[in-house]
A and B are shown apart, each in its own frame.
Chain A
Amino acid sequence: MPRAVVAATVVAAGALAALVPSLGLPQYYVSLLTQTWIFGIAAMSLDLLVGFTGLVSFSQAAFFGTAAYIVGIAQTQYHLAAFWPALGLALLGAVGLAAVFGLLALRGEGVSFIIITLALNEIIWGLAYQWVSVSGGDNGITGFVRPAVAGVDLTGTASFYRFCLVVLLVCLGLLVAIVRSPFGLVLQGLRERPRRMAALGYNVRMFRYAAFVLAAAFAGVAGVLFAYYNEFVGPVTLSLDTTVQILIMVILGGTGTLLGPLAGAAVVVFVSNALSNLTQRWELILGAVYVAILLYARDGLVGIGRRLWLTVSGRDPRRPGADSMMRPAASPPAPGDAEREP
């Protein structure tokens, strides 16, 4: 599928999606879709790290949650309710935190990196949970409201839905631009052969650091939206649970594809909400699906979709050039696929 077709499809899908609230669906589903857009941004931000740079980070929730907290605290304690300043502050916080975390975490790679990012996420969680005077502790921060943006009132489900959709599309556009840029190509090279990239003259650590901070910025945007969505922030927003949820969205959807993690976000959001009405065991089911994906369909939903499409249209999935979906690389990478460095 040539890029133009994919782009057109996305735009069309976006337009259709914008119409959803007018279709007469129960608010509940519109709400879930809103959540999907929000977590979609977070998942895509993590994909930038996992799928494109080869860094599995366990601290995305820290940036997501910090941005959310800043929005809440700014409004409740400093009466800063306007959207753009709040967004600016929140992003500053998320990016600043990432700047510090990155210095520590990127001293290692692979498993060391995972462990350090996990520890760092726990530090922030611990602060949110226990520093009651600032964060409200377990009770979190409540009592703030969605601001109007550019004169548009966002208190309604439908208008907030559309707002989040717009932000999602903007973020998607930016991320696509990034991964298709020279910088994005460098990141992918780092994912595959960091040793060789260094030998070529690339400052591996610096590029990884840039990706880490960039990803945190997008996670921060999602965090801001999430705060307004719930009109509440609590420690769970930056907990390990949230970080794991986002990671699962990425892996489920297919790493290194951007759209995959968005699909993954949809699956996780709907399963954890809608399915939980049918069965209490949705977490078990999600876990099982996640394991199954890792074992049998490591390129995730996107990979499954791609293979289905190729089979259905009668083309051999293994022939090069048989498809060229919206990916800058020749084929979607999967976690753990890069061969070990000799």
Chain B
Amino acid sequence: MTFYAQNLLGGLAYGSLLFLIAAGFTLIFGLMRVVNIAQTSFFLVGVYTGLTLLRAHVAFWLAVPMAGATVTVIGLFIYRVFLHRYHADELIALLLTLGFALMLDDGALALWGGNPESVPAPGALAASLQLGTLVFPSYWLALIGISLLIAAALRAMERRTMLGAIIRAGVDDEEMARGLGIDVDRAFYIVFAIGAFLAGAGGLLGGPITGAYPGLDGDLLPLAFAVIIIGGIGSLEGAYVGSLVIGLVSTFGKALFPELSYFTIFVPVAAIMSLRPQGLLGRKR
């Protein structure tokens, strides 16, 4: 019983941090059809930036948005200078983001070195909780809660704001959208910024669980893809559900089938991708 509860919580926590990556990923793809391979690199830069801030004695809850802001600046720079011109060409945009992922990866290595670091959870939540035989970091609960709040906030944004309407409608015909008075460029910038912010802030938020090490982005990328495939490209609800599912499968997989845990994540993913290219909840595009 303890085993299941432990892994359930752990899986939900891991899934919650995956959501912070997947949400941005799916928003960016949903609106702009850009597969941002650098999304997990944004996360990586976020963890490291956050770690640096923490070491400079910045309070955790302040460091989170600051890390997010830093990554947003970097992300916007990349988008503005390089991607914006090619955002309409899905393939080139994807290949470009691959290049940026490589550069960010190496840049992080240069700036922060190659030693794996652990990221301390904020003081109040550093302790473990005990429920009967179940022992787990209280930070897990905080992360699950925060991620849920962010998901709710994003959903509200999607349903209630003009930007959200644009995101939901998608921009299949840019010229037409512009003709209707929609500031398509601004929407793209804002969404890319949101995606980068979520990944950057998510980096520090997820840091206490993942740690910070070179190659973290490479390890997370396939999981992010798995989430998107399961949840559907372009669907926020799908990204949330998908993240939790992958988080749980990953955690239980490692516990139950250590020799095949990666396999257990990706086989259903590949199956879903082939049978239903739009995932479980996504829109048909």
By a beta-carbon cutoff of 8 Å, the part of chain A in contact with chain B is 56, 103-105, 107-108, 110-112, 114-116, 118-120, 122-123, 125-127, 129-133, 240-241, 244, 247, 251, 280-281, 283-284, 286-288, 290-291, 294-295, 298, 335-336
Q: Please determine whether B92 and A336 come into contact, CB atoms closer than 8 angstroms.
A: yes
Contacts of B218 in A (CB 8 A): 240-241
- Shortest distance in angstroms between B98's beta carbon and chain A's nearest beta carbon? 7
Give Cα A111–Cα B271 distance, bound, in whole angstroms: 17
Q: Is the interface of B mostly helix, strand, loop or mixed?
A: helix
Q: Please determine whether B222 and A291 come into contact, CB atoms closer than 8 angstroms.
A: no
Q: Please determine whether A131 and B259 come into contact, CB atoms closer than 8 angstroms.
A: yes
Given A112-B273, A127-B262, A240-B221, also A283-B106 (CB < 8 A): yes
> Residues 78-109 of chain B: 1 if any A CB is under 8 Å from the residue's CB, otherwise 0?
00001000100111101110111011011101
Is B260 an interface position by the 8 A CB rule? yes
Nearest neighbor of A125 in chain B, beta-carbon distance = B262
Q: Please determine whether A112 and B277 come into contact, CB atoms closer than 8 angstroms.
A: yes
Is B245 an interface position by the 8 A CB rule? no
Q: Please determine whether A126 and B263 come into contact, CB atoms closer than 8 angstroms.
A: yes
Q: Please determine whether B105 and A123 come into contact, CB atoms closer than 8 angstroms.
A: no
Q: Please determine whether A132 and B259 come into contact, CB atoms closer than 8 angstroms.
A: yes
- Shortest distance in angstroms between A225's beta carbon and chain B's nearest beta carbon? 26
User: Chain B: interface residue count, which band?
Assistant: 35 or more
Q: List 9 A-B contacts (CB under 8 A).
A: A111-B90, A112-B273, A129-B262, A244-B98, A284-B102, A291-B96, A294-B95, A295-B82, A336-B90
Given A126-B263, A287-B103, also A111-B222 (CB < 8 A): no
Q: Please determine whether B274 and A251 come into contact, CB atoms closer than 8 angstroms.
A: no
Contacts of A288 in B (CB 8 A): 99, 103
Q: Please determine whether A123 and B110 come into contact, CB atoms closer than 8 angstroms.
A: no
> Residues 258-279 of chain B: 1 if any A CB is under 8 Å from the residue's CB, otherwise 0?
1111110111011101110100
Highest count of chain A CB atoms <10 Å: which of B35, B91, B100:
B91
Which 6 residue pairs spanning A and B have beta carbons closest together? A126-B262, A287-B102, A291-B99, A336-B92, A284-B106, A287-B103
Is B12 an interface position by the 8 A CB rule? no
Give Cα A123–Cα B229 distance, bound, in whole angstroms: 14
